[in-house]
Structure 1
Amino acid sequence: MIVLRNISKIFNHGSAPITAVDDVNLSIEQGQIYGIIGYSGAGKSTLIRLLNGLEKPTSGSVLVNGQDISAARGEALRQARLKISMVFQHFNLLWSRTVSENIAFSMQIAGTPKAQIKARVAELVDLVGLTGRENAYPAQLSGGQKQRVGIARALANSPDVLLCDEATSALDPQTTDQILDLLLDINRKFKLTIVLITHEMHVVRKICDRVAVMENGRVVEEGEVLNVFTHPQQPITRQFVRQVSQYAEEEAFNPDLAAGLDGNIIKLTFVGLSTHQPVVGELTLRYGLPFNILHGKMTQTAHGVFGQLWLHVVATPEQLTSIVNDLQLHDIDTEVVKYA
């Protein structure tokens, strides 16, 4: 659906060139919700502008549905952009137009017949939950309602790709969740490919299928959201994971909890069905040992539950080896973080 091949973007401002995007390769499948996360200056906003042709890459190619957007010009680019819509952080609504008129605007530019525009606007108003607010102006709307208008407007021409550039960062947490639920519903109903640019891991956790982590213009980590949450490889990824789950070892497990304890500390990572297994009870019965739970938490993602548990047990080396093997046979990742 979307393929980025060796994409780089260099801005030549002032005396020194600035590399905003540095040799990025990504593949996004049809119907995926794909997150691109990074802090300010990571290059993610430049990357999303490369996806719809607002910026041209210095090198590399951007393919959307087989078309090279990076090479498109004139009418070909205009037609391509009709199928690649964007939702903005600060809504970018026309303040002198009503909700209905804002939604209709892009269809008017595209030359859609009036009767078709009217029917499509009514359909979209209902889809985004703004029935009864059709004649309101943006100044009369809440932040969440404004973003619903922005989403409806972006969907007006039935795009294949929806780009969301920090679409929830100006909203409060409750409204953010409502907008994310709306995007997830739209994705499931229309199989629409959604690319989310964000600096909030909560957004990625809640609705994304895959995520790419950017730092200094490069993608430093990429994968399925559940895997990235349970096994973050890069320091910056672990920082993002801590935003919502506090699962990095130094925060999820406080060593002071084990101060003065003899024995072993075992970290268990559960994914999917393994989160429902009575692990501690089974270990106690099997080995006749008291297992002390030091810390634990479970988190929901769009593709399942994962959790981590820190256990303390006094066991012989032979018992410890057997315990670890038993847990791994139950598809539970196990790590001994402190030996007796």
Structure 2
Amino acid sequence: MIVLTNVSKVFKDNNEPIVAVDNVSLRVERGQIYGIIGYSGAGKSTLIRLLNGLEKPSAGSVLVAGQDIARASGESLRQARLKISMIFQHFNLLWSRNVSENIAFSMQIAGTPKAAIRQRVAELIALVGLQGREHAYPSQLSGGQKQRVGIARALANSPAVLLCDEATSALDPQTTDSILDLLLDINRRLNLTIVLITHEMHVVRKICERVAVMDNGRVVEEGDVLNVFTHPQQPITRQFVKQVSQYREPLPDLAPELLQNLPGVVLKLTFLGLSVRRPVVGELTLRYNLPFNILHGNVTQTANGIFGELWLHAEIDPGRLDNILADLRQHNITAEVVEHA
């Protein structure tokens, strides 16, 4: 559905080049929810503007549904954009129009017949859960309701791709979750391809299937969300993962006095899928006749499945430690010894 190949974007500031996107290659499959995460200045907003033709790349190709957006212009670009819609952080609604009129606006611009517009508006209002608010103006809506209008408006012309530019950043956590649930429902109902840029790992965790991590214009890490969460490779990725798992490397957020002069070893176990149900501590205690102390643990749900993390402490001699690590690996549990001195 979306293929970026060696895409770069360079701006000029007083004749000095500023590289906003640096040789990025990505592939987003049809019907996928794909997350692009990075801090401010990482280049993710420029990247999403390249996807809908608001910016032209300095190098590389941007294919959306088989059409090179980078080389489209005039009428061909206008037609391509009809299949690429966008929702924004600050909603961008027309304040002089009510809910129905805001949703209808893009269809009116496209020349859709009035009867078809009325029918489509009614369908979209039901889809995003705004029944009874058809005649309300933006000033009369909550933040979540405004974003629902924005989503309905973006879907008006039945796009193939929905781009979300920090779509939940202006919302409180509870409203954020409701909007993410709505996007996930729309994705499943319509098989809509969604590209979502954000600086919040919670957003990626909740609905995305794959994620690309951007830093200084480059994609520094990319993969399915579950793998990125459980095996982050880059320091910036580990920083994002901490937003959700809420621990500090190399140890969880434990009281210093608990770790002071702690003998033995600390193990970090990572469980995937149904392995989170295994009574691992009990099995290890019985098999090796060792008392294991649980220091910290959590379970995280992603769109790809669940994973759990558990930190254990025990006084184990080197020979038995090797056996325990091998035993855990046989049960698809990743285990590593954590330095804690």
User: TM class, shorter-chain normalised?
Assistant: over 0.9
2:87 corresponds in structure 1 to 87
1:252 corresponds in structure 2 to 252
2:139 corresponds in structure 1 to 139
Map 1:283-298 onto structure 2 (within 5 A).
Answer: 283-298=284-299
Q: Does 1:239 align with 2:239?
A: yes
2:153 corresponds in structure 1 to 153
Map 1:59-98 onto structure 2 (within 5 A).
Answer: 59-98=59-98
- Structure 2: which amino acid aligns with 1:52? N
Distance in 2, matches of 1:62 and 1:107, equals 26
Kindly state the Cα deviation for residue 337 of structure 1 after the two structures are TM-superposed. Answer: 1.8
> Helix, strand or coil: the match of 2:76?
helix
Distance in 2, matches of 1:276 and 1:150, equals 41
1:329 corresponds in structure 2 to 330
Q: Give unpaired runs (5+ residues) of structure 1.
A: none
Count of matched residue pairs: 340
Distance in 2, matches of 1:144 and 1:251, equals 37
Kindly state the Cα deviation for residue 277 of structure 1 after the two structures are TM-superposed. Answer: 0.4
Where do 4+ consecutive residues of structure 1 move more than 6 Å?
A: none
TM-score (normalizing by structure 1)? 0.98
Q: Does 1:99 align with 2:108?
A: no
- Structure 1: which amino acid aligns with 2:260? A
Q: Give unpaired runs (5+ residues) of structure 2.
A: none
Deviation per CA, 1:233-270: give whole Å up to 9, x if none. 11111111111112452352548333222212111011
Q: Does 1:269 align with 2:270?
A: yes
Distance in 2, matches of 1:336 and 1:115, equals 66
In 2, are the aligned partners of 1:293 and 1:311 still within 8 Å (CA)? yes
- Structure 1: which amino acid aligns with 2:172? D
TM-score (normalizing by structure 2)? 0.97
Distance in 1, matches of 2:205 and 2:340, equals 33
In 2, are the aligned partners of 1:20 and 1:216 still within 8 Å (CA)? yes
In 2, are the aligned partners of 1:266 and 1:338 still within 8 Å (CA)? no
Distance in 2, matches of 1:197 and 1:138, equals 24
2:303 corresponds in structure 1 to 302
Distance in 2, matches of 1:328 and 1:159, equals 45
In 2, are the aligned partners of 1:87 and 1:167 still within 8 Å (CA)? yes
Distance in 2, matches of 1:72 and 1:15, equals 27
Kindly state the Cα deviation for residue 339 of structure 1 after the two structures are TM-superposed. Answer: 9.3
2:312 corresponds in structure 1 to 311
In 1, are the aligned partners of 2:299 and 2:307 still within 8 Å (CA)? yes
In 2, are the aligned partners of 1:241 and 1:247 still within 8 Å (CA)? no
Aligned-residue identity in percent: 76
In 1, are the aligned partners of 2:250 and 2:339 still within 8 Å (CA)? no
Distance in 1, matches of 2:297 and 2:130, equals 41
**Bigger shift: 263-272 or 2-11?**
263-272
